[in-house]
Amino acid sequence: MQTTGYTGYLVRVIEPGVCEAGDALVHESGTAADRISIADAGQILNVDRHNIEGAQRLLSVAELGETVRSTLTARVAAGGQHGEDVDRLYLD
C-alpha cells in the first residue's frame, strides 16, 4: 500500500447506490477540477506524503473523515516536513 497507493479500504457511503468492479469512484460535487478520485486520495495519503497542495485539495472535501482530516491538517501545518508523518521503514 505504501508504494502503490492501493488502499484496499472501504469507503464511507455518502449516498446509497450500486457500484461494480471497474467502476470509478469519484467525489461528484463541484466542478471537474474540484473532484478527487479514491486513487488520487490514496496517492496523496500514502505515497506522496510531501504533496502539500494535494493535502490541501483533500482537506477541501467536506465529507472527509476526521482521522484523515487530522492527519492532513498536521501535514500541512508542518509544511510537508517530518513530524507525525515521518518516513517509514520498508523491509524487503
pTM of this structure? 0.60
Quote the pLDDT of residue 51.
Answer: 92
pLDDT tens by residue, 43-66: 898 888 899 999 999 999 888 889
Residue 5 lies in a domain: no
Yes or no: say if 24 and 37 are a contact pair by the CB < 8 Å rule. yes
Residue 73 lies in a domain: yes
Count of structural domains within the chain: 1
Quote the pLDDT of residue 85.
Answer: 47
pLDDT tens by residue, 9-42: 656 677 788 888 888 866 565 555 567 888 888 8
d(CA 62, CA 39): 18
Residue 10 lies in a domain: no
Residue-range definition of the domain harbouring residue 25: 17-82
Residue 38 lies in a domain: yes
Considering only CA atoms, which of 50, 46, 54 is closest in space to residue 82?
50
In terms of pLDDT, which residue wins out, 7 or 60?
A: 60
Residue 30 lies in a domain: yes
Residue 66 lies in a domain: yes
In terms of pLDDT, which residue wins out, 43 or 92?
A: 43
Residue 37 sits at φ, ψ, to 5 deg, of -80, 165
Residue 26 lies in a domain: yes
